[in-house]
A and B are shown apart, each in its own frame.
Chain A
Amino acid sequence: MTTTARPLTLEDVRIALAGTCLLTVSARVEPGEVLTVMGPSGSGKSTLLAYVSGFLDPAFSASGRVLSGDIDITALAPEERHAGILFQDPLLFPHMSVEQNLLFAIPASVRGRAARRNMARAALARTGLEDFGPRHPDTLSGGQKARVALARVLLSAPRMLLLDEPFSKLDASLRGQMRDLVFATARASGLPVILVIHDAADAEAAGGAVIRVGTDA
């Protein structure tokens, strides 16, 4: 979790599908701040995250640059961008235990089995899931899975957090909890956040700037 706080800059990002422009964004997200992109489903708001993380479908064309600090990450391979992403499903790797899921995320620069395991355990302890390391993801509740997914992405020392409607599948009580946890963590770790949603409630909780995409948003 030794992320050096760097702002995220979207420089004239323009994404089009078959000549039709879906969205244009120019924004600067400071460490710990949240940029919210809001729009109805099908408006192409998730393509922004795909573009930043390096997984834009070739059917779309995109121009512009994404900078982390002064590093142009659009020039990097997806795995070198360190764009930590959370989807609406926790997507824990089902063939790994909780601890193995976390170990997978720890950068290779952390050497030694013991050191890596200690890091994973500490992350679990911070999440309040001390004894869950050997458990299989299937045996966890929805809220527990979401917390492990958050711990996993933080362990990978990301440059930013990309949130793709991450709370929309949680039930009402968990939703507020998880939302507060994610934003508090991002603030504490100094991570710039891009949040993609179609629900205004999440946008209010996030604070920060809001960009609307699509016509009937």
Chain B
Amino acid sequence: MSFARLGPPLAIGLLAGPVLAGLAGTLFPAFGWLPALGGDRVSLDPFRELLAQPGLFRSSLVSLLSGLAATLVALLGVALFMAAHAGSRFFGRVQHLLSPLLSVPHAAAAFGLAFLVAPSGWLVRLVSPELTGWTAPPDALVVHDPFGLAMTAGLVVKEIPFLLLVALAAMPQVRLAETRRLAASMGHGRVAGFLFFAWPPVYRQIRLAVLAVLAFSTSVVDVAVILGPVTPPPLAVRLVGWMNDPDLEMRFFASAGALLQLGITALACLIWLALERLGHVVLTRLRDRGRRFAQDRGLRAISGVLPGLSAGAVFLGLLLLALWSVAGLWQFPDALPRSFSLRSWERALPRLDGPLWTTLATGILAAALATVLAILCLRREDETRAPPGRLLWLVYLPLIVPQAAFLFGLQMLLIGVHAEPSLPALVFAHLVFVMPYVFLSLSDPWRAFDRRYETIAAGLGASRLKSFWRVRMPMMARAVLAAAAVGFAVSVGQYLPTLLIGAGRLTTITTEAVALASGGNRRVIGVYAFLQMMLPAAGFAIASLVPALLWRRRSA
């Protein structure tokens, strides 16, 4: 296995390479330099053009504020929920819901939310006309609201399970039961005790993940298209519009816009650092003043509201998507369709096979490559006994640099070398985003492996190769397959990389679904979004069934 030596350099090349090349590819055109499109003079014209775009300030502000708000609300929700419940049996049960919630693509969750809360959505239908008297949908901008509240809600709903999962992974750093007992013995309430003594080390561990959420939320495209404001849309959405414009001249100020996006995400990170500081000061002040907050029954009662609403919204939304895909006649105030039909599916199926094939091929290849790469990196870590975490910055790099900022540049580089959109290009673009999640989900179980098994195997005369394939891999099979399933789910959910690198020639279920957003045909959206969430679910089902089957055969 000495070719594990190749792991880290390969990972650096395949992750940092595209990010840095993409950023460079954005930087030069932003200053007017892109010979392939006739730009051979460095100038500030692209920025002048960018600033002349109407509503640019508002677009930027919406991106900045909704991203910050979504991250803050999701993090506070997670902190409060863990403070009140971590370590309890209820909490243990909730953990099982996280993986399915996490595997739902952002776009599908956003559609589900839209179907739920829109003026003609299911919640209004449920109480109409009995309570509201409405026989027609009210004329209110609940989805696509100009302040981006719906978009923020859509982001919160998806980021809560993610943050909860990474926070859980950090929990072994804290001796929870002892900490809780110690805090209680000093008279602290359950919530305050956790926040004072257990949360700070947990937060230190998940900080990069929180920044990744912030970067994603300030530059998100698919959720913004489905739920965000339209006049004007958030910056990232407008960028994509400029970038995909047939008028190639627009690429120059689109690149300038991508740099602006980078700046906005960076600004959000700076503001976040200030918020962190503030949170730290408040928490230490309260702690050092000896506040105990022993009466926190009320706080504990509401701690479940936000995560509960999030999970409820996702699951109910998915149910609605499925229902709409088979709905026949479903007029406004009815809470359920009058009839069911498979016509939406029959109509969609003939057009589905291309995108479905691309989705599967890209997802499987990217997940497989990412898994191999992650194993090589972890194997190398075993060999060198390097302290874990040295590669962590690299893993988070593609998640903290906003997608839009470097994917544009990457697309431009591909145009520059006259590369056609191809499946390999798409797979490698997905790999940049898939690999981090695969690595993060595999690294904990991998490092938890008892390496004395390998010592024993070697002592029994097994070569390193034999020991790896017959001892390590079978014992890790469950974790490896689960990580691959996470990778597949991430790939299925990718919108912007597919849109830009596929350049319309290669489409997936996700790009097709988001493209349907403006049409507003709920039945067709239902079909695509339902498929979008079924694919990751199928991946997880296979990942958990395969080891079970292998196991049964062995012990028979």
Chain A interface residues toward B at CB < 8 A: 50, 53-55, 57-59, 77-85, 87, 89, 91, 93-97, 100, 104-105, 107-108, 136, 152-153, 156-158, 162
B460 close to A (CB within 8 Å): yes
Of A50, A59, A81, A93, chain B has the most CB atoms within 10 Å of the CB of: A93
Could you give, for residues 459-470 of chain B, a 1 whenever the CB lies within 8 Å of some chain A CB and a 0 otherwise?
111111001001
Least Cβ–Cβ distance between B395 and chain A, in angstroms: 24
Contact indicator B462/A79 (Cβ below 8 Å): yes
Contact indicator B459/A83 (Cβ below 8 Å): yes
Least Cβ–Cβ distance between B386 and chain A, in angstroms: 10
Residue from A57, A87, A156 in contact with B461 in the complex, judged by beta carbons closer than 8 Å: A156
Residue from A53, A58, A100, A157 in contact with B455 in the complex, judged by beta carbons closer than 8 Å: A53
Report B426-484 residues with CB < 8 Å from chain A CB: 450, 452-464, 467, 470-471, 474-475, 477
Residue from A81, A95, A162 in contact with B554 in the complex, judged by beta carbons closer than 8 Å: A95
Q: A82's closest neighbor in chain B, by CB?
A: B461
Residues of A within 8 A of B461 (CB): 79-80, 82, 105, 107-108, 156-157
Residues of B within 8 A of A156 (CB): 459-461
Contact indicator A94/B475 (Cβ below 8 Å): yes
Instruction: Please provide the 7 A-B residue pairs with the shortest distance between their CB atoms, ordered closest to farther.
Output: A78-B458, A156-B460, A85-B459, A105-B460, A95-B474, A79-B458, A79-B463
A–B Cβ pairs within 8 angstroms, 7 of them = A55-B455, A79-B462, A91-B456, A95-B551, A107-B461, A108-B461, A136-B555
Contact indicator A153/B460 (Cβ below 8 Å): yes
Least Cβ–Cβ distance between A77 and chain B, in angstroms: 8
Of B452, B455, B470, chain A has the most CB atoms within 10 Å of the CB of: B455
Q: A58's closest neighbor in chain B, by CB?
A: B385
Least Cβ–Cβ distance between A151 and chain B, in angstroms: 12
Q: A96's closest neighbor in chain B, by CB?
A: B554
Q: How far is the CA of A198 from the CA of B484 in the complex (A)?
A: 44
Of A81, A93, A95, A108, chain B has the most CB atoms within 10 Å of the CB of: A95
B384 close to A (CB within 8 Å): yes
Residues of B within 8 A of A50 (CB): 455
Residues of A within 8 A of B470 (CB): 104
Contact indicator B385/A95 (Cβ below 8 Å): no
Q: How far is the CA of A55 from the CA of B453 in the complex (A)?
A: 12
Residues of B within 8 A of A104 (CB): 457, 460, 462, 470
Q: How far is the CA of A174 from the CA of B454 in the complex (A)?
A: 27
Least Cβ–Cβ distance between A112 and chain B, in angstroms: 18
Interface of A (DSSP majority class):
loop
Residues of A within 8 A of B475 (CB): 93-95
Residues of A within 8 A of B452 (CB): 87, 89, 91
Least Cβ–Cβ distance between B481 and chain A, in angstroms: 14
Contact indicator B555/A53 (Cβ below 8 Å): no
Q: How far is the CA of A100 from the CA of B457 in the complex (A)?
A: 13
Chain B interface residues toward A at CB < 8 A: 384-385, 450, 452-464, 467, 470-471, 474-475, 477, 551, 554-555
Residues of A within 8 A of B555 (CB): 97, 136
Residues of B within 8 A of A83 (CB): 459
Least Cβ–Cβ distance between B92 and chain A, in angstroms: 23
Known A-B contacts A95-B475, A136-B555; the reply to A58 vs B460 at CB < 8 A is: no
Contact indicator B458/A93 (Cβ below 8 Å): no
Least Cβ–Cβ distance between B388 and chain A, in angstroms: 15
Q: How far is the CA of A55 from the CA of B385 in the complex (A)?
A: 11
Known A-B contacts A59-B385, A93-B471; the reply to A53 vs B458 at CB < 8 A is: yes
Least Cβ–Cβ distance between A4 and chain B, in angstroms: 16
Beyond contacts A53-B458, A54-B458, A77-B464: 17 other A-B pairs, Cβ-Cβ < 8 A, are A53-B455, A55-B458, A57-B385, A77-B463, A78-B458, A83-B459, A87-B452, A91-B453, A93-B453, A93-B471, A94-B475, A95-B475, A95-B551, A96-B554, A153-B456, A156-B460, A158-B459
Q: How far is the CA of A193 from the CA of B41 in the complex (A)?
A: 78
Q: How far is the CA of A87 from the CA of B455 in the complex (A)?
A: 10
Residues of B within 8 A of A81 (CB): 458-459
Least Cβ–Cβ distance between A3 and chain B, in angstroms: 13
Q: How far is the CA of A9 from the CA of B477 in the complex (A)?
A: 40
Q: A55's closest neighbor in chain B, by CB?
A: B455
Q: A89's closest neighbor in chain B, by CB?
A: B452
Least Cβ–Cβ distance between A193 and chain B, in angstroms: 14
Contact indicator A85/B456 (Cβ below 8 Å): yes
Q: How far is the CA of A78 from the CA of B461 in the complex (A)?
A: 8
Residues of B within 8 A of A100 (CB): 554
Q: How far is the CA of A96 from the CA of B550 in the complex (A)?
A: 11
Residues of B within 8 A of A157 (CB): 461
Contact indicator B554/A97 (Cβ below 8 Å): yes
Q: How far is the CA of A216 from the CA of B209 in the complex (A)?
A: 46
Residue from B455, B460, B471, B554 in contact with A152 in the complex, judged by beta carbons closer than 8 Å: B460
Residues of A within 8 A of B463 (CB): 77, 79
Q: How far is the CA of A158 from the CA of B458 in the complex (A)?
A: 11
Q: How far is the CA of A19 from the CA of B474 in the complex (A)?
A: 39
Least Cβ–Cβ distance between B355 and chain A, in angstroms: 39
Contact indicator A58/B554 (Cβ below 8 Å): no
Q: How far is the CA of A54 from the CA of B464 in the complex (A)?
A: 12
Q: B476's closest neighbor in chain A, by CB?
A: A95
Residues of A within 8 A of B464 (CB): 77, 79
Q: A50's closest neighbor in chain B, by CB?
A: B455
Residue from A82, A94, A107, A136 in contact with B459 in the complex, judged by beta carbons closer than 8 Å: A82
Q: A93's closest neighbor in chain B, by CB?
A: B471
Q: How far is the CA of A204 from the CA of B361 in the complex (A)?
A: 65
Q: How far is the CA of A89 from the CA of B450 in the complex (A)?
A: 11
Least Cβ–Cβ distance between B244 and chain A, in angstroms: 50
Least Cβ–Cβ distance between A139 and chain B, in angstroms: 9
Residues of A within 8 A of B456 (CB): 85, 87, 91, 153
Residues of A within 8 A of B477 (CB): 95
Least Cβ–Cβ distance between B553 and chain A, in angstroms: 11
Q: How far is the CA of A85 from the CA of B471 in the complex (A)?
A: 16
Residues of B within 8 A of A105 (CB): 460-461
Least Cβ–Cβ distance between B198 and chain A, in angstroms: 28
Residues of A within 8 A of B474 (CB): 95
Residue from B459, B462, B471 in contact with A162 in the complex, judged by beta carbons closer than 8 Å: B459
Q: How far is the CA of A95 from the CA of B551 in the complex (A)?
A: 7
Q: B547's closest neighbor in chain A, by CB?
A: A95
Residues of B within 8 A of A55 (CB): 454-455, 458
Residues of B within 8 A of A84 (CB): 459-460
Least Cβ–Cβ distance between B153 and chain A, in angstroms: 45
Least Cβ–Cβ distance between A2 and chain B, in angstroms: 14
Q: How far is the CA of A147 from the CA of B42 in the complex (A)?
A: 77
Q: How far is the CA of A83 from the CA of B477 in the complex (A)?
A: 28
